[in-house]
């Protein structure tokens, strides 16, 4: 803040205004690094203009950098299974493929790029030799979509059962370890006469 542009600022708002003026002046003035450019773009604002860059949506950046994608097929009731949890996607999309995007604090369910639902999660990534764990799934948020049930419900589940009555994320029991099947009794020799002859 010792820079001469900010010396006269006496309040936070004056400091913010001085900073905006400085940014505008710096971006609009001719810059030494661009003095030999033949395309006429001499300032940082002209070089880094809106039309020369590609802008990405926040959701696309999240998907690209820190989320894990799982492909699942919804069951007959519209749920997908993920790490010992049944997660509601959408009832109207039963038996259809969906993408589950899992980050450190959120899980979203999408079909053909359209968000169906989102949940807050507590997630523990796996380390060497240990599997990842989805510890808790809470605060479901179901989105309005163009997908409709072929048979409308007779009553609204939210209104009848309340917010906590209709389970949108269900914790399942872990898989039981398989037991090795041992024979109940030893099988008798099929042809005892042949053994006696040999």
How do the pLDDT tens digits run along the chain, 198 residues long?
346 666 777 777 887 888 888 777 777 777 777 777 777 777 777 776 655 556 677 767 666 666 688 999 999 989 999 988 999 998 889 899 999 988 888 899 999 888 999 999 998 877 777 777 888 998 988 888 888 877 776 666 555 555 555 688 889 887 777 777 777 776 676 666 665 555
CB-facing half-sphere around the CA of 20: CA atoms within 13 A: 6
Cα(29)–Cα(14) distance, rounded to whole angstroms?
22
Element of type H or E holding 70: strand 68-73
Task: Answer yes or no: are the C-beta atoms of 105 and 118 closer than 8 Å.
Answer: no
pLDDT of 73 reads 95
CB-facing half-sphere around the CA of 30: CA atoms within 13 A: 6
Task: Answer yes or no: are the C-beta atoms of 45 and 28 closer than 8 Å.
Answer: yes
DSSP secondary structure code for residue 32 in this structure:
G
Q: How far is CA 17 from the centre of its chain?
A: 38
pLDDT of 162 reads 52
Cα(159)–Cα(148) distance, rounded to whole angstroms?
18
Location of structure tokens 């090795």: 180
pLDDT of 131 reads 77
Task: Answer yes or no: are the C-beta atoms of 98 and 72 closer than 8 Å.
Answer: yes
pLDDT of 198 reads 57
User: Could you tell me the residue ranges of all domains in the chain?
Assistant: 11-52, 58-171
User: What is the token pair recorded at 189?
Assistant: 């020799």
Task: Answer yes or no: are the C-beta atoms of 27 and 15 closer than 8 Å.
Answer: no
What is the end-to-end Cα distance of the chain in Å, rounded?
Answer: 103
Q: Where are the alpha helices (DSSP H) in the chain?
A: 12-28, 44-47, 58-66, 157-161, 192-197
pLDDT of 96 reads 93
């Amino acid at each position: 803040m010792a820079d001469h542009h900010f010396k006269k600022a006496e309040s936070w708002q004056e400091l913010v205004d001085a900073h905006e003026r400085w940014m505008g002046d710096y971006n609009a003035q001719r810059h030494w690094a661009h003095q030999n450019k033949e395309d006429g773009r001499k300032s940082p604002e002209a070089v880094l203009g809106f039309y020369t860059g590609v802008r990405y949506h926040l959701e696309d950046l999240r998907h690209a950098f820190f989320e894990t994608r799982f492909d699942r097929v919804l069951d007959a009731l519209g749920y997908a299974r993920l790490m010992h949890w049944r997660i509601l996607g959408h009832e109207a999309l039963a038996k259809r493929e969906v993408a589950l995007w899992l980050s450190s604090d959120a899980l979203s369910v999408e079909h053909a790029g359209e968000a169906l639902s989102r949940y807050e999660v507590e997630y523990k990534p796996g380390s060497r030799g240990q599997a990842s764990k989805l510890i808790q799934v809470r605060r479901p948020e179901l989105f309005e979509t163009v997908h409709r049930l072929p048979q409308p419900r007779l009553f609204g589940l939210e209104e009848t059962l309340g917010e906590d009555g209709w389970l949108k994320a269900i914790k399942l029991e872990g898989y039981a370890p398989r037991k090795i099947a041992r024979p109940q009794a030893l099988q008798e020799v099929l042809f005892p006469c042949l053994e006696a002859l040999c």
